[in-house]
Structure 1
C-alpha cells in the first residue's frame, strides 16, 4: 500500500490522544487509555519511545514523529526499509530500480540519517547511494521515524533525523498460562518474479518469552516498460536499456531470534539478528557487478523499575559485525568473489538510559550515557574505505514540563568523538602512513513546546542542534566505487557538520477530519557532499568530498477525511528546497516535490469475506533538474539517459479481504498493483535513471496466515 496518511484508527490515536489526555505527565500518558467514544471510532493507544524524554503519545512530543506498528506496519511493509517508509510525510527513498530502498528525510540521507535497531545506532557503510540499511522490515515489531535533528539522543549521524526499527516486544502469559502463535507471509511480485516467504513465531509463559523470525526473498531481473532506447530513437535523453534489465537480481535470507526473562527485579532480553544479501547491479556499460553483504547483531537488554516505578533503568549492550564484499566491474555473482572490496567492522555499543517521572521541576525525562567503539578492516585490492577506528562517548539529558495546556521539552548532550585511519588495517596502499587521527568535542541540544489550542487542535515547535563527524570513507576514500561507476576521493581536512533545525507544526483532529501541516528550516554549517571534479581516469569520473554551508527548507502536509463510514479520502504533499550557500546551487539528491492522493472504500462483510476494501491511489512527482556536479549528474551530458527527470503521475490499485483461517484467526489476501498503466518514468532518486527507466507495472499478491494466539 502506498499510503500517505495513517489508517483512521492509528491516525486518530496519534493526534487526538494528547488532546484528550490534557496536561498529564509523559509517564502518565504511557500508562493511560484513550476514551474515544466521542470520536465514534475505537482507538488503539499508540506510544512513542524514540527521540522523546519518556514514553508517551507522539502528539505531546515537540519533535515530529511517526509510528508504524500493528496493522499499519503490516499494510505498509515492503521489501526495503525505504519503500516501507516513503509514504510517510517528509520521507522519500533512494532506490536502484526495485532494489536498495534507502530512507531520505527532508532532503537528507545516508550518513546524515541515523538508522537504529532497538534504539542502538547501526552502521551499514551508508556512504554509498546504493548501500541499503541491513534491516528486513518483515521482522520488525514497530518503526519510529523522527524528522529533524535528533543528535540529542542519537549523536553523530542523526543530523537530519532517525529511524528506529524495533523487534517485536517480548510477550508473557498470565500466571499459570502459556501462549504460542505464528504469522506466515507468502508474496509474489510479477515485475521481477520475486518470491518472499516469511514466518514469525512466538511462545511464552508468565516468566519466559521466545520469538523467532525468518524471511527468504529471491528475485529475477527487473522489468521496465518496453520503450525505445536512445540507440533506436536517436534521442540522447532516452535510456540505454529498457524492458528486462540484466544483472538486477538478488537473493536474501534474514533471521531474528529473541529470548526474554521476566523476574522480580525487571525484564531482561537477548536478541540476535542476521541479514544476508547477494545481488547484482547493472552498470552503464551493460556489465554487471556482484556484491555479497552480511550483517550480524547481538543485543542484551534490561528494563528495571526502581523507586516504586518512578525510575526505569534501561541498559543495553550491543555488538554488530558488518561485512561488505564487492567485485570489480564486469564480475557478477556467477563469477564468484574477485577480492576487489572487502570491508569488515565490529561495532560495540553500551548505553544506559534512566527514565524518570517527576524530578525537581520536571514532570518526566531521560538521563543517559552511551559509548560506542568501531574497528574496521579493509582487506580488498581497492581502498573504497580504509581500515581504522571510530569511538564516541556521550552524556545526555532530556526533560519535560507540563504547564496547563503547554508542554515544554528541552535537552542537552555532549559528544567526544574520534576517527582514526589506520594503514595497518588496510591491505591496499593508502594516502597516509601509520595512523591519522581526528578528534571532535561537540555540544548539541533541543528546545521545544506543544500547546493544545483546543481539544482538537495543537501547535508544536522544536529547535534542535545536530552534528555529524566525518566518516572514515569521507576522510580517506581513494578508489573505484564499482556500484556507481566512479572514482571517489576523501578529504582529510573535513570538519564536523553542525545543524540548527527549526520545526513548526499544526496538528488537528476532528471527528472525521485529521491531519498535520509542518514547515521547517535546517541550516547546516560545513555540509559534506561529493562533487564531480570534472576529471576522469580510465573513463570513470572522479568525485571528491568537500563542504560548504547549506540551507534546507520545506513543508510536509498530510490530511484524511472520513467522508462516510465506508469512504476515506487521504493525501499528502512534500516540498523541500536545499541550497549550497556558496554556489547557490541545489544540494545533491534532493527528492522532487511530490503529491499523493487516495480513496479507500471499505465494504460490508459478505459471507466468509471480512473487511473487504478497495483503494485507488495517485502519485505525482514534479520535474527536477540535477544539481551541477552531483552524483549521476554526468548522465545529462552523455549520449543516453538523464540525471534530470520529467514530471510523472502513476496510478496504484489495492484490494483485499480477510477470511476465516485457522482457529479464531483471520487470514488475509491482498493484491497491490503499482504503476497500474505501466507508465514510462524515471524517479529522481532512482540511481538507475541515468541509463534505464524506473520499474514498470508490478502486481504484488500476498497471503498472510496467522496461527495460534
Structure 2
C-alpha cells in the first residue's frame, strides 16, 4: 500500500455570523488529531501537514455557540466559519455589533497594534507611507494627502468610523479632516471599490476604524504624549472607554487630542509661518443585544495651519527669483505665531446607526450621517481686509445608507444596498474676492448588489452599481449670474477572486470598472487658490472619468518569511489633471503661477513589494517598495505629480522578557527615492534629484501592575539630509524637513 502524502494545508477564517467581523483569539481544534490553534487579529488560522481524510473541526469563542463541522480533506483548502452569538448574559461575553469588516477580494493592507502606535503623532498620509503603494501629495511639510497607486484627492475615499469623509478635498493643500488618534486600525484597499462606496472610491479606500464599543461592564483608557524636536511640537491625546454595569450591552467612548507646533526647519534654514494648531474630540455611545445594535457617534476636528509666506510673491521678478533660488530669501527665527497666509478648518460629524438581525442569519442596516465642513483661507492683504478670509466656504453633507446582508450556511453571502447623498456648498459673503468655486447643490443616488461565493480554496466575488448625480451650480461674477446644471449617470462593476495555491501561496485578482464625475473645482475654478498661491482654471465641459483596473496580488506566508507582490494596470479615459502652464498672473495682490485643469486618456502601471524575513527570534529584516508608471496617451507625454520609485529597507532587533512580559525593539531603516525622470513637457522647475534618508527607532514597554507604559524614541532623517520631494507642491520654493527627533509615551490603563 502506498504511503499517504501528509503535506496538505487547510486555511480558515472565523467571523461573527451577525456582522461578518473577524474574530480574534477563537480556539480551533481538529478533534481526531487533538491539535489546536488560535485565530489571529484578522480571524485567520492554518493547519499544516495533514493527511487526506475526514476531520471534525471544533471552534469555541466566549459568548458564542460551539461550532462543529466535518470536512473531507483531499487537497489544500480554504474555509470561512461563521459563529453565532448566544443570547445569554455572562461576564466576559463581548459581541462586537457595531463595526462591520470589509470582506473583499481586493488587496487590503492594514496597520494596527505596535506599528500603528509608532505612527501616532503623524498625519494620516504620513502614517500610511508604511504601506507599499501609498505615498503623499503635499503642500509643504504640514499638509499631506494620501496617494494610492498614483491617484489622490477625490479619487480616494476615506471612511471615518464607517462614514465617508466629505470635505473640500479637491485641493492639494486640503489635508483630510481626520484625527488619526481615533483609530484602532487603519486599512488601505488598493483596488477600485466604487460598487460598494460610490464614485470617490475609484482609486482605493482608506478605512479609519476605532475599536468596537464594549458591551460588558469594563473601564479602560489610554493616554498619549508625543514631543518632537523639529517645530518644538507637543501632541497629546486621551481616550476613555467603558461599559454599563446596570444596562447590559451599553458601551461608550470619549476621546480627544490636541497639537501645537511652531516653525519647522530644513537642514539649513527655518521656514517662516509653518506652525500648526489642532484641537479635536469625539464621543460614541452604543447599545447591542443579540438581534439589535445601535450607535451614535459625534466628532469635531479643528485646525489652524500656517502657509509659507515665500510661496506668495509680490511680482513676477520675485516669483522667478525664488524659483531659481530654490529656497526662501528671508531668514526667520522660531515662533509659534501663525500669521497670514493661513488656513482654518472646522469639521463636524454626526453618525446614527442601527442594525437588526433576522432569523435566517441575514441583517438589515441603516445609517444616517451629517457633516459640516467650514474652510477659511487667509491671504496677506492690506488694512481691514487682512482679517477677512479670502476663501470662506461651508459644505453641508447628509447621507443615508441602507443595506441588506444575506448569507447561507456555507457558500454564498452578499449585500443589496442603496445610498443617498445630498450636499450644499455656500460661499460666505464679505471676502471681497470672487469665489474660486461656485455655490452648488448636489444629489447622488446609488443602488448596488454584491455576491460572494466560497468553496474550499476559492473565493469569487462580483458586484454591480448604478449611480445618478444631479448638480446645480451658480455664482455671480462682476454682477452677472452664472448658472449651470448637470445630470450624470453611470454604471460600475467588478469581478474578483482569491485562490489558495498551496499551504503558503495565495493569489488575488480583481478586474473593476469605475467612474468619477468631474469635481466642482475642476469645472469652475477661475481664480486664485490662496492656500497654494496659484491661479487655477477649470472647464465646465469635462466628461466623467472612466477607469478599468486589473489588480493582482501574490502572497507567500511561511514560518519565517512573508512576501506580498502586487501588480496593476489602470486605464483611465477622460483623466482630469492639474497642469502647470508657462503663464503667470500679475495683479495688485501679487504674481502667481497659472495651473490649468486638462483632460486626457491615461495609463497607470505599477507594482508594490513588501517582504519581512524573521532571521531568528530576535532579528527581522524588512523591505517595501513601489513603482508607478503613468502616461498621457493623447499627448504621448508624462503626467505631472506622479510618485517616483521608492524602496525602504531596514533591520530590527527585539528583546523579549517572558518573565516581565516586556518587549524592547531597536530598528534602523533606509528610504531611497529616485529622481522622477518621467516629467511632463513643461514644469516650473526640473524634478529634484533623488535622495536617501536614514531613520532610527527604539521602543519598549513596561508593565505597571495591571497597566502598561509604552515608550518610543524615533529619529527621522538622522543625517540631516538636504533634499526635495517631487510630490511636494512647495518644492519650487523650499526644501523638506530636516532631522526630527520624537519621544512618545503611551499609557494603557
Shorter chain as denominator, the TM-score bin is 0.7 to 0.9
Match of 1:594 among 646, 655, 659: 646
Name the CA distance, whole Å, in 2 between partners of 1:552 and 1:45: 33
Alpha-carbon distance between aligned partners in 1 of 2:434 and 2:13, rounded to the nearest angstrom: 59
State the partner residue of 2:75: none
From 514, 524, 545, the counterpart of 1:497: 545
Partner of 1:344: 394
Aligned-partner Cα distance in 1 for 2:125–2:492? 27
Distance 1:19 1:64, change over 3 A: farther
1:591, 1:447 → 2: CA distance?
Answer: 28
User: Which residue of structure 1 lines up, in the alignment, with residue 443 of structure 2?
Assistant: 391
Deviations 1:163-214 (A, max 9, x none): 12223321111xxxx2112100110010111100110111112222110111
1:202-221 paired onto structure 2 within 5 Å: 202-205=241-244, 206-221=248-263
Q: Deviations over 1:275-303 (max 9, x none)?
A: 10111110333695111111000000113
**Cα shift at 1:367:** 1.2
Indicate which of 197, 220, 236 corresponds to 1:197: 236
Displacement of 1:34 in angstroms is: 6.6
Pairs aligned (count): 648
Q: Distance in 2 between matches of 1:592 and 1:41?
A: 43
Q: Secondary structure at the match of 1:433?
A: strand
State the SS of the aligned residue for 1:82.
helix
2:37 & 2:656 partners in 1: Cα distance? 16
Matched with 1:409 is 461
Structure 1 length-normalised TM: 0.86
Query: What aligned pairs does 1:181-580 form with structure 2 within 5 A after superposition?
Result: 181-205=220-244, 206-226=248-268, 243-263=269-289, 265-282=291-308, 283-284=310-311, 285=313, 289-308=341-360, 310-329=361-380, 337-358=387-408, 363-379=412-428, 380=431, 381-423=433-475, 429=478, 433=481, 435-538=483-586, 539-580=591-632
Task: Tell me the CA shift for residue 472 of structure 1.
Answer: 1.4
For residues 307 and 344 of structure 2, what CA distance do their matches in structure 1 show?
Answer: 12
Please name the residue that 1:664 is paired with. Answer: 706
Partner Cα distance (1:458, 1:570) in 2: 20
Residues 14 and 26 of structure 2 are in contact (CA less than 8 Å); yes or no, is this contact kept in structure 1? no
- Gap change, CA 1:468 and 1:548, over 3 Å in 2: same
Contact in 2 for aligned 1:357/1:363 (Cα 8 Å): yes
User: Which of 139, 145, 150 is the matching residue for 1:102?
Assistant: 145
Q: Secondary structure at the match of 1:86?
A: helix
Distance in structure 1 (CA, Å) of the matches to 2:355 and 2:519 = 33
- 2:11 corresponds to which residue? 20
Distance, in Å, in 2 between the alignment partners of 1:335 and 1:614 is: 53
Judge conservation of contact 1:329–1:482 (CA < 8 Å) in 2: no
Cα deviation, residue 387, structure 1: 0.7
Aligned twin of 2:696: 653
Report whether the alignment pairs 1:155 with 2:177.
no
- CA separation of 1:172 and 1:582: change in aligned 2, threshold 3 A: same
Q: Which residue number corresponds to residue 69 of structure 2?
A: none
Q: Deviations over 1:474-506 (max 9, x none)?
A: 111111012212111121001111100001111
The answer to whether the Cα contact below 8 Å between 1:355 and 1:367 also exists between their aligned partners in 2 is yes
Q: Secondary structure at the match of 1:257?
A: strand
Aligned match of 1:233? none
Instruction: Give the secondary structure class of the aligned counterpart of 1:442.
Output: strand
TM-score by length of 2: 0.82
Contact 1:480 1:488 in 2 (8 A): yes
In 1: Cα distance, 2:37 partner to 2:667 partner = 20
Q: Say if 1:111 and 1:629 are closer, same or farther in 2 by CA, change over 3 A.
A: farther
CA contact (8 A) 1:147 1:160 kept: yes
- In 2, the alpha carbon distance for the partners of 1:303 and 1:530 equals 42
Aligned partners of 2:24 and 2:39 also within 8 Å? no
Alignment correspondent of 1:239:
none
Shift of 1:43: 5.8
Q: Deviation of residue 604 (structure 1)?
A: 3.3
Deviation at 1:75, TM superposition (A): 2.4
Rg (Cα) greater in structure: 2
- Report SS of the residue matched to 2:657: coil
Question: Could you list the runs of 5+ residues in structure 1 that have no partner in the other structure?
Answer: 1-17, 227-242, 637-642
| Equivalent position SS for 1:21 | strand
SS in 2 for 1:699: strand
Q: In 1, distance between residues paired with 2:382 and 2:185?
A: 38
Matches of 1:339 and 1:120, distance apart in 2: 29
Question: Is the CA contact (8 Å cut-off) linking 1:420 and 1:472 kept in structure 2?
Answer: no
8 Å Cα contact 2:266/2:735 also seen in 1 = yes
Q: Deviations over 1:377-397 (max 9, x none)?
A: 012423221111111100011
1:678 aligned partner: 720
In 2, distance between residues paired with 1:295 and 1:456?
A: 45
**Where does the alignment leave 5 or more consecutive residues of structure 2 unmatched?**
1-8, 45-79, 83-98, 314-327, 331-339
Deviates more, 1:396-405 or 1:522-531: 396-405
Structure 1 stretch 118-127 or stretch 491-500: which is displaced more?
Answer: 118-127
**Paired residue for 2:178, among 126, 135, 140?**
135
